[in-house]
């Protein structure tokens, strides 16, 4: 009979599957052992049939025994069911916590990646701005250098022209002075020769001719020398 009572409990799977998740053991047992529950009704019916076949006159004892067995089985089943529900809930909580941690980790990774990308973008922008500024400063410095160079060249040309004019003026003055000196000396020499009473006229003519030749040679050399200096000055 006990086996039949157990069979009665095992045949009604709908009762155990209808248990409220996370309910206490007492609540779960009460659900199963309620007089109106399908399991208890099935146990009573099975006990009555077994008593009738066995010729027992008082079936209430059999029903009580069957329902007692059902209650014990229900307690064991409820404990297992509640334990399973609690384990599943714990697993669900762990999975939920893991999902949250993964989500937070992914969010943190995305934030970090976003910050890194923003830093790279900012650095690239700063480098471009710095490079553009350096190019602008270099171009400005080159323009200023060209302007300074042009001004220095103009000043040097003016100084060179002034120097050349000064040289030409000095050369001209020096040439005039040197030529006058040659002419004056030659004139004095000619006068001394001509006024020398001790010399014959033929000797005087010969000496005067020699003096004039020397004078002309000195003048030609002087002119050649100063012409070279004057040409050099004119080329400045």
**Is 2 a residue whose pLDDT tops 60?**
no
Residue range 171-176: mean pLDDT, rounded: 80
Please give the pLDDT value at position 13.
Answer: 45
Burial class, 120, CB count within 10 angstroms (exposed 0-12 / middle 13-18 / buried 19+): exposed
Task: Tell me if 211 sits within 8 A of 192, measured CB to CB.
Answer: no
84-142 pLDDT tens trace: 777 778 888 887 787 777 777 777 777 677 777 888 888 888 888 988 999 999 899 99
Residue range 17-34: mean pLDDT, rounded: 57
The residue to which tokens 């410095």 are assigned: 141
Please give the pLDDT value at position 78.
Answer: 67
175-185 pLDDT tens trace: 888 889 999 99
Of the candidates 22, 26, 30, the one whose C-alpha atom is nearest the C-alpha of residue 84 is: 22
Please give the pLDDT value at position 44.
Answer: 64
Of the candidates 2, 10, 4, the one whose C-alpha atom is nearest the C-alpha of residue 32 is: 10
Q: Quick one: tokens of 133?
A: 């500024």
Residue range 25-49: mean pLDDT, rounded: 65
Task: Report which of residues 18 and 146 the model is more confident about.
Answer: 146
Whole-model pTM?
A: 0.33
Q: How far apart are CA 193 and CA 197, in angstroms?
A: 9
Domain ranges of the chain: 2-112, 156-234
């Amino acid at each position: 009979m006990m086996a039949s009572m157990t069979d009665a409990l095992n045949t009604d799977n709908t009762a155990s599957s209808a248990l409220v998740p996370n309910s206490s053991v007492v609540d779960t047992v009460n659900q199963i052992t309620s007089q109106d529950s399908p399991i208890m009704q099935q146990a009573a019916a099975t006990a009555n049939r077994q008593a009738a076949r066995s010729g027992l006159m008082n079936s209430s004892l059999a029903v009580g025994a069957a329902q007692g067995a059902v209650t014990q089985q229900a307690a064991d089943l409820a404990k297992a069911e509640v334990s399973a529900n609690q384990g599943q809930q714990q697993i669900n909580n762990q999975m939920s916590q893991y999902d949250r941690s993964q989500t937070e980790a992914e969010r943190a990774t995305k934030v970090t990646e976003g910050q890194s990308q923003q830093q790279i973008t900012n650095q690239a922008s700063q480098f471009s701005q710095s490079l553009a500024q350096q190019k602008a400063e270099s171009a400005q410095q080159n323009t200023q250098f060209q302007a300074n160079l042009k001004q220095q060249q103009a000043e040097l040309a003016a100084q060179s022209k002034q120097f050349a004019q000064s040289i030409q003026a000095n050369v001209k003055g020096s040439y005039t002075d040197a030529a006058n000196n040659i002419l004056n000396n030659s004139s004095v020499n000619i006068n001394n020769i001509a006024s020398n009473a001790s010399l014959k006229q033929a000797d005087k003519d010969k000496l005067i001719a020699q003096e004039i030749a020397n004078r002309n040679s000195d003048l030609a050399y002087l002119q050649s020398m100063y012409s070279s200096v004057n040409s050099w000055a004119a080329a400045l």
